[in-house]
Structure 1
Amino acid sequence: MSWLPPAAAGVTVLLWASAFVSIRSAGAVYSPGALALGRLLAGTLVLGAVCAVRRVGLPPRAAWPGILVSGLLWFGAYMVVLNWAEREVDAGTAAMLVNIGPILIALLGAGLLGEKLPPRLLAGMAVSFAGAVAVGLSMSGEGHASALGVVLCLLAAVAYAGGVVAQKPALAHAGALQVTAFGCLVGTVACLPFAGQLIHEASSAPVGATLNMVYLGVFPTALAFTTWAYALARTTAGRMGATTYAVPALVVLMSWLLLDEVPALLTLGGGALCLAGVAVSRSRSRARPSR
């Protein structure tokens, strides 16, 4: 069914956008490493249960290099570093810098995976990145930014891009559920050094913050990463990366509806540019009729 991959990508983008609202609550109580581990534990438990019910076995040996790299970079390093970065910079600056990730995905996909860079993809990413910058600038006016925070955001973007590009070849040998479940398990194991912090902070954390952490693990991690892998297996890494530029626009809308944060005109304009760029990058040029 041709509509399933776009629908899966839409579910991913929607849930990843909702994650920013939950991180605001949980991140105020849990330290970066503890929040990442708690989120990954919840995701691993859910994915493990699904794999057990569906009797999903171990991935083939050929898929393990991509699963290990994506698990360490994307599920592990990216989540910890991004949680840390958002304590050092304001949300707008983080949004601008992390949105370098889709550009890196397209470049790495072309260099390492031999993917093409069609003009429509490049044009759409340029428009969307301009929109992300506009959203970031509109949100950065009263915030703060440190040199450490900027470096952490850039590292998060690199880890995100590297994880996606590593995951793409693994999906040629294993299913989306296998790649996601075992990648999440690898990230969980990598974050186990933060177990002491998680136990200590969970003992005194408000129920709302802990529920938000569990939500992050069940929906934006277990479900959204699986639908992402399903869609990624059926398109290029560059095109999927460009799809995530819809996230800033959805975050603006959700903050407006759920947090009563009325966006400025520049924020609305930037969100519209993000969506327009995604539409351009996902479109396909019409083939010329042969004579």
Structure 2
Amino acid sequence: MGRPAWVRGGGEAVNRSWLERHAYVLFLVPGLVLYGLFMVYPLGSSLGYSFFHWDGLVRGSFAGLENFRAVLTRSPYQERFWGALGHNALFFVSTLAIQSTVGLALAALFRKKWRGFGFFQTVYFVPYTLSMVVVGFLWLMLLNPTWGAFNQALRAVGLGGWVQPWLGQTETALPTIILVNAWRWLGFPVLVFLAGLQGIPDEFHEAATVDGATGWQAFRHVTLPLLAPVLGMMTILTFIWDFNAFELVFVMQGSSGNPYYATDLLGTLFYRTAFGDSTTGGEPGQIGIASAIAVLMLLLIGAVSYLGVRQMQKRQVEY
């Protein structure tokens, strides 16, 4: 006699059930492979490279922590690193201030659902869909000191005295790039803040109105506390993005004779140190020094992001 049907088919049923339960693995594999190749492997390589001396692209003897000491304490890398870190901090604080004020104000207006606001919501979000490289070259043309549309517009409205090479002088180069960066990113926080505002029950605002609160008081004591998780998330994301900033600054920096150090961020300093740009003030092509900068960036971004998430979880409001 043969085996019963339920016995004969048992193995196939078990295998089929296992495949069904773990089918998601097949969908994760391509993403994991790409993430490993373009994120995990470069980060691991940078960590390894930072512990060696380098002669151009040829790895030399083991250096231990010497490259890190050079970045933090030895001239000219010390001045360049701390200067770029200061620019990153200014980049982050300025962008966050613009997003948290203008972005939140626009989101509050869009929440009212007035006629035509859907069009403006789309207009504000469109720059976010553009590549950073495209945005950089677009604003390079708009800000050209000779024929750029921005300076031409200033002359047309009688503000010719304001015309200047915005990217060609130390005083205005970095603030100009910061404003361009905020313009490009503004659509995303508007969308996030709008979703957060729409998630707050109307009963809270109605109760505040019944208690005699003004519009500002209701916003200050009701809306903002309930929006704190969204604000915290946007702060962390903005920090990560701005301390990883590279493309926009790389495209726009140095135009019209502007010195690199006036707009250098950690990302651009890493690139120029690694790939032989002598404007770092040191020897060109320092792979070990550049890798140490990349590792310090990773540690800084990881530590601050972790502390930010922990703090946000402690202050989270449930309703």
TM-score, structure 1 length as denominator?
A: 0.27
Whose relative contact order is higher, 1 or 2, with alpha carbons under 8 Å and at least 6 apart?
Answer: 1
Structure of larger gyration radius: 2
Normalising to structure 2: TM-score of the pair?
A: 0.25
